[in-house]
């Protein structure tokens, strides 16, 4: 039996703060890409490979920021300013693979914003769909687990497709 941790309901970060985190982090990553682009335009010696250099740089910035920095103890600017952190089902730092899965949701663009507005408030652990896929929770920085419980698989039907996501079983009082 796999075991995970659960937190107080108020320890899970809500939709408003999560959208603020996304905004701050997206603006930060775009600013980094813009600065890199300007730097490369004025310093890159081979015009033919400038596009490849820019795209490679952007990829490195997004992976570095949204995977490695988010996973570190420093966190991204959005997480640091809002007092949030991201954890896996066991309450530990998520794996690089989990954060890459979350990052791939960027491809959804503005649709993520609209989906998050409706999905996060209706989820008991305030997980976004990308968190379901990545097996992560966004919690307050100072949150400590209330306890442990069994990890179970719940069924979700999303856009006509059935998914099974692991979640920490909710403890009910008897």
> What is the pLDDT at residue 142?
97
- Give the mean model confidence (pLDDT) for residues 8-35: 96
- Give the mean model confidence (pLDDT) for residues 23-48: 95
> What is the pLDDT at residue 171?
65
> What is the pLDDT at residue 174?
41
> At residue 140, does pLDDT exceed 50?
yes
Q: In DSSP terms, which residues pair with 149 in a beta bridge?
A: 4
User: Bigger pLDDT: 46 or 60?
Assistant: 60
Count of residues for the chain? Answer: 174
> What is the pLDDT at residue 152?
94
> At residue 11, does pLDDT exceed 70?
yes
What sign has the CA pseudo-torsion 103, 107, 110, 112? Answer: negative
User: Bigger pLDDT: 22 or 112?
Assistant: 22
> What is the pLDDT at residue 106?
87
Nearest to 25 by CA among 70, 90, 73: 70
| Gap between the Cα atoms of 14 and 117, Å rounded | 10
| Gap between the Cα atoms of 9 and 107, Å rounded | 30
> What is the pLDDT at residue 20?
96
- Give the mean model confidence (pLDDT) for residues 47-61: 95
pTM: 0.90
> At residue 173, does pLDDT exceed 70?
no
> At residue 69, does pLDDT exceed 60?
yes
147-158/161-168 β-pairing: antiparallel
Instruction: Determine contact, residues 50/42, Cβ cutoff 8 Å.
Output: no
> At residue 166, does pLDDT exceed 70?
yes
Give the domain ranges of the chain: 3-168
> Average pLDDT over the chain, rounded to whole?
93
């Amino acid at each position: 039996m796999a075991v995970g941790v659960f937190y107080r309901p108020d320890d899970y970060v809500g939709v408003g703060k999560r959208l603020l985190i996304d905004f701050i982090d997206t603006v930060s990553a775009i600013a980094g890409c813009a600065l890199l682009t300007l730097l490369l335009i004025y310093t890159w010696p081979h015009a033919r490979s400038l596009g490849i250099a820019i795209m490679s740089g952007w990829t490195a910035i997004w992976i570095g920021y949204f995977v490695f920095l988010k996973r570190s103890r420093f966190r991204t600017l959005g997480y640091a300013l809002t007092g949030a952190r991201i954890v896996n089902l066991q309450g530990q730092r998520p794996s690089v693979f989990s954060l890459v899965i979350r990052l791939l949701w960027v491809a959804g663009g503005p649709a993520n914003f609209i989906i998050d507005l409706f999905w996060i408030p209706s989820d008991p652990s305030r997980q976004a769909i990308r968190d379901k896929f990545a097996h992560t929770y966004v919690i307050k920085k100072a949150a400590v687990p209330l306890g442990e419980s069994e990890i179970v698989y719940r069924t979700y039907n999303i856009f006509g497709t059935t998914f099974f996501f692991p979640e920490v079983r909710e403890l009910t009082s008897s």
